[in-house]
Chains A and B, each alone.
Chain A
Amino acid sequence: MDTYVHLVPWIIAIPLVGFFVNGLLGLAFRSYRDMKTVSGIIATLAVAVPFLLAVYLFLMMQGDSESASISLFTWIQAGDFTTDIGYRLDQLSLLMTLVVTGVGALIHFYAIGYMAGDESPWKFFAFMNLFIFAMLNLVLADNMLLLFLGWEGVGLCSYLLIGYWYTDMAKSDAAKKAFLYNRVGDFAFLIAMLLIFQTIGSLSFDAILNGTELFTTDQVFIIGLLILIGATGKSAQIPLFVWLPDAMAGPTPVSALIHAATMVTSGVYVISRLSSFVMMSPELMLLIAVIGAFTAFIAATIALTRYDIKAVLAYSTVSQLGFMFLALGSGAYVAAMFHVVTHAFFKACLFLGSGSVIHAMHHVEHKLHEEGKDVHFDPQDMRFMGGLRKYLPSTYMTFLIATIAIAGIPPLAGFFSKDEILVMAFNAGLGEYGAIYFGLWALALITAFMTAFYMFRLTLGTFHGSFRLPEKITEAAGSEKYLHDSPFTMTSVLWVLAALSIVGGFIGIPNFVVATFTGTADVNLLSNWLDRVTMDAELVLSKPVEWMLLFGSVLVALSGIYVAFLLYGENDPETQDNRIAARFGALYQVWNEKYRLDEIYEGFIVHPTVRFSDRVLAVFDIKFIDGFVNFVASVVRFTGSVVRYFQTGVVQTYAVAIVLGVIIVISMLLF
C-alpha cells in the first residue's frame, strides 16, 4: 500500500480545513452565521471528500496488502524517545476510516436539516468537523501517542457537542459528567502508555506488535488492564458507563455520530489494534469478556424501563458495546469489528429516526404555543407518542428496519454480527476458563432476547397504537394535524442507513452456512479482510453446533419480538409497565432506578471526595501550600525591592555596576 499511503494525510487534513473554514468565517463575519445551509454543506463536503478518498483506497487495497506507514514529521524528540506524526494504513484502520467518514458524512448531511432551527449552526458544524479530524487521528495513528491525541480530541469534541446548548444547565452538567468520567479512563490509558514505553522504549504499533515477546504475562495483564479501563471510559462499559445516557443531552446528530457510531467504538478499536498483545493474557481476555457481558445485560435491563426514546437507544448502545467487548474477550476481533460496522449503520439510523420523531413532536409543541395554548411536554417521551406511523411514514419504515436489524432477524445486518459474537463466546467456552465463558454466553443470549423485546417496545410505543398526546393533555386535542414527516434531506439519510442495515451483514456471512451446501466455503469477506491485522481465536465448533446456535439466536430474537407484541401491541406502554412493575416488584424497581449507580457513585466517590477536598485538602492547600507559596513570593518580592533599589535611574550607578561586572570577569579569567 506504499503507493497510496500518501492519500492518508489528505483524508485527515480535509476535515480540519472544514473546521477552520467554518470556525474562522463564523468568528470573523457575522453575516456568515446566518448562512446555515452553506456552513452545513461545507462541513458535509469536508467529510464526504475524505470518504471518497477512503473508498478509492479500499478499491486499491486487497485483504493481503501489506500495511504501510507515512510519517509527516517528527513531533517529539527527547533523548531516546521520538514520536512522529505518522499514520498507518492497513485493513483495520481503513475499515474504521470508511465507517467514520461514511456514516459521518451522512449524519452531517442530515444535520443540515436538523439544525436549521438553531441560531448558530456554524459552530456546531465546526465542532463536528473537528470531531471527525480527531477521530481519524485516533484510528489512523501509527503510534499510541498520536492515538492518544485523537482519543483526547474526541473527548473534547464530545464535551463541546454534548454541552452545545450550554445555556441549559442540565446539558452543560451532562457534558461535564461525560468529560470527567472519560478522564478517569484516560488517566489509566496514559499510565499504560508509560508502562509500554518503559518496557520496549517505543510507542509505535509496529514496535509493540512485533515485540510482544518482550512483555511478561504479568506486564501484559497490567498494561492491558489499564488500557481496558481507558476503553471502558470511552466505550461506556462497567464501571464507567453512566455518562453515556446523560450524553444524550446533545443534539441528536451528535448522539448518532459520536455516542453511537464512532467515538464509543474507539475502545473496541484499540483492543482490536492490539489483539496479538492482549491475547497473551487469558485472564485479561476473560476480564474483558466478563465486563462486556455484564454491561450488555445490565444496560439492557435498564433499557426495558425507559420512556425517553433517546434514553432507550442510549442504554441499547451501551448494551451493544457490551456485546462487542464480549467478542473481544472471546478472541473474536473480527466479530467485534463486524458489530462495530453494522451497529454504526442501524444505531445511526435509529438515532436519526428518533431525531426525526423529536423534530416532529417539537413542531407540535411549537404550533400549540402558536395557538396560544400553554402546553408543555417532553418531546422525547414515548408516553406522549403512539400511532406516529401514520404521520411519519418514512421515519417509521426506516426505524422499523433498523429495529429488526438490531433485534437480530436474518438476513439483516445485526443478525450476522450478533450471531457471530454468540458463536464465538460459545466457542471460547471450549477453551480455558470454559465454564465462565459458557455462563457469559448464556447471559448474552438472555440479553439478545431483551434487546429484541425492548427495541420492539420502543417501536410499538412510538409508532403503533393511537396518538396519546391528546389523551394525556386535553388542551392538545387535535394536535395530530401538526405531525408531519421530516424533509427529504433528512429522510433520505434514514433510507440510506436503513438500506445499509439490511445489506450490511453480507460482508460477514459465516463460512459454515455456505459450506453446509458446498462443502467448503470462503465467503466471509470481513474475516479475510482483517486476517492480516487481527489475531482471532480459532473456531473449533462443528457445523451442526454452529447451526444449532444460529437457530437458537433466531429463536431468541423472535420470541423477544413476540412477547413485545403480546404486551405492548395493543396497550399503552405506561399501563402495561405498571402491570409489569407490580408483578416483578423490587427487581423492576432496581432496573427502573438504573441500579442506583449514579447515586452510588455520588454517595461513595463524588460526595466523599468533595468533602475530603473541602475539609482536608482545602485546609492543607490554604494553610500549607499557599502559605509556603506566599512565603516564597514575599521573599522574592523583598529581594526584588532591594535589588530594585540599585536601579536608581542614575547613569553613574549603572556604570558602577558595569565596572563591577568587568572586575568579576577579569578576575575569573586572569587568576
Chain B
Amino acid sequence: MESANELLTILPVIIIGTAGLLVMMVDAFTENSRTAYWITVLFSAIGLAVSVNSLFGPTGTSFYNMIAYGGTAAFGAVLVMTGTLFSVMLTREYLEKTGRHIAEVYSMMLFATFGMLVLVQSNNLVTLFLGIETMSISLYVLAGLVKDEKKGVEAALKYFLLGAFSTGFLLYGIALLYGASGSTFLVDIAATDEKGLIYWAGVALLLVGFFFKVSAVPFHMWTPDVYQGAPTTITAFMATASKAAGFVAFILVLSRALPDVRAEWSDVIWLFAIFTMVIGNILALVQDNVKRMLAYSSIAHAGYVLIGFAAATGAAYSAILFYLFAYTLMNVGAFGIVAYYEWNKGLDFTEIKNYAGLGYQQPLMGVLMSVFLFSMVGIPPFAGFIGKYRVFAAAIDEGLISLVIVGVLASAASVYYYIRVLVYLYMKEDEGAQVTLVKPGMLYSVTLVILAVLTLYFGINPGSLTDLLLSFKDAAY
C-alpha cells in the first residue's frame, strides 16, 4: 500500500496529535487560554467527523499490520472522539468559573486522546502498550493539573502509583505472551500451538492489565478517589473516553488474539463481572457525594459491560459498543450537570444534600439531569435502556442466565442512588438553602442539550446504529 494512503488510515490520530502540538505552541506564545480551547474544539470536531466517516469505509491493517482500521477500530475512534469533543466543550466554562482555566489542560487532553486513538486501532501488543501508556501518563497529569488543590494532587499520585503497578502486570503479560507465541501480533498469538504455563500466565496478566484500566473490582479502588479529586469535566473525559478506549482494545485483544481459549477467559470475566456489579452498586448506594456516586456508578456500568465480554459473541460485542456509546453520552452529560452545580458559589454542590430544590431554579438543567439519570438507570426510551437490554439479551443467548439475573438485580438497586438525586432536585424544596444559581452559558447548555437529544434519539431509534455495529466482522467474531 502507498504510504500516503496508509497515513489516511490513522487520520484521526494525526489530526489530534497535530492539534496537541499546536495547542502547546499557542500556549507558549499567548496568555489567552481561549484560543487553545477553540483549536481543541475545532480539531476534535474534525476528528469526530473523520472517524464517523471512516465507519463506512474499508477495513484492514496498515503500517506493517501494526494498525487496524475500519469496523470496530473506527467505532472505537468515534467513541473516543465523542467523549473528548463533548467534555472539551464543557471544560472551558467550568474551569473559568472555578478560576483555573489553563491551556495545558487542552494539550494534555489531546495527548491522552492521541493515546486512546492509537489504543483502539492497535493490532499489535506493542502498539497497544504505546497507546495505553500515552493515554495513562497524560491522564495522571490531568488528574493533578490543578496544583493548589490538595485532593487532586493526592488523587493524581495514587493514580500514578497504582497505574505504574498495573502497567507492570500488563507489560509482564505481554512479555510472557511473546515468549509463548514468538510474536506480538494479535493474530499470531491466536495461532499459538503450545499453551503452556507461560501462555496462561501471560493471558492472566493481560486480563489484569485491562481490568485495571476499565476499573473492574477489585482493581477499581483508585477510581473514586481520582474521579472525585479531578476537575469534574476532566473526570467526565476520563470516565468516558479512556474507559471506552480500554474496552474497545479489550474487544480487539480478546477476539483477535485469544478467540480459541474463549471458554477459559470467559469464566474469569464472569466472576469479575459479578464482583464489579455487586460492589460497584453497593458502594454507590452509600455515597453522599454526587461525584463519588457517579464514580461508583461508572464502576457498576463497567460490570454490565463485562457481562457482554463473558458472552463474547458477535452480538455481544456489538451490544458492548452500543452500550459504550450510550454510556459516553449520558456520563459526559451527568458529569457536565454536576460541574455546572459545582461552580456555583456558597455551598459545596457536590454534596447531595445541597441539591435540594435546585431542579426548579434552573429547569433546563434539572430536566437534562433527569434524562441522563433515567438513561443510566436503563429506563426507556433512553439509549441506556437499549444498551443494557442488548448486552443482557446477548448474554441470555449464550445461556448466562445467572449472570444476567445478578445484572438485573444490581441495576434495580441502582435505581435508588440515581433517583435519589432527582428526589433532592425536585422533592426536597423546603430543605434547600437559599442560593441563587447562575445561568450556564449558551454553549454549555447547547452541548448538554445535544447530549440529551442523542441519548433520547438512540433510545427511540437504535436500529440504524445497531445494524451498523452488527455488520462489523473485523474483530474475528
Contact = CB atoms under 8 A, between A and B. Distances in A.
A437 to B, nearest CB: 46
A664 interface: yes
- Interface residue tally of chain B, by bracket? 35 or more
Contacts of A636: 282, 285, 413
Given A657-B218, A658-B162, A661-B219, A666 B285 contact: no
A660 B169 CA distance: 13
B282 A670 contact: no
Given A654-B158, A657-B218, A668 B461 contact: no
B158 A651 contact: yes
Contacts of B271: 664, 668
B147 to A, nearest CB: 20
Contacts of B286: 637, 640-641, 644
Given A78-B393, A651-B162, A665-B204, A640 B285 contact: yes
A658 B201 contact: no
Per DSSP, are chain A's interface residues mostly helix, strand or loop, or mixed?
helix
A669 interface: yes
Contacts of B463: 73-75, 77
Interface of B: 157-158, 161-162, 165-166, 169, 197, 200-201, 203-205, 207-208, 211-212, 217-219, 221-222, 224-225, 264-265, 267-268, 271-272, 279, 282-283, 285-286, 389, 393, 413, 416, 460-461, 463-464, 466
Interface in A66-121: 73-75, 77-79, 85
25 contacts: A73-B463, A73-B464, A74-B461, A75-B461, A77-B463, A77-B466, A640-B282, A644-B286, A647-B224, A649-B225, A653-B221, A654-B158, A657-B219, A658-B165, A660-B218, A661-B208, A661-B218, A661-B219, A662-B169, A665-B211, A665-B268, A669-B204, A669-B264, A669-B265, A670-B200
A655 to B, nearest CB: 6
Contact of A665 (B166, B208, B279): B208
Nearest to B162: A654
A666 B212 CA distance: 15
B288 to A, nearest CB: 12
Contacts of A654: 158, 162, 221-222
A643 interface: yes
Contacts of A670: 197, 200-201, 204
B103 to A, nearest CB: 31
Nearest to A652: B161
Interface of A: 73-75, 77-79, 85, 633, 636-637, 639-641, 643-644, 646-647, 649, 651, 653-655, 657-658, 660-662, 664-666, 668-670
A77 B211 CA distance: 32
B268 A669 contact: yes
Contacts of A657: 218-219, 221
B204 A658 contact: no
A32 B463 CA distance: 37
A658 B200 CA distance: 19
B158 A669 contact: no
Given A661-B211, A665-B204, A647 B283 contact: yes
A651 B204 contact: no
A669 B200 contact: yes
A486 B218 CA distance: 75
Of A78, A643, A668, most buried by chain B (CB within 10 Å of CB) is A668
B460 A75 contact: yes
A588 to B, nearest CB: 51
A668 B221 CA distance: 22
Contacts of A664: 271
Contacts of A668: 204, 267-268, 271
A388 to B, nearest CB: 45
Nearest to B463: A74
Contacts of A646: 221
B158 A665 contact: no
B283 A644 contact: yes
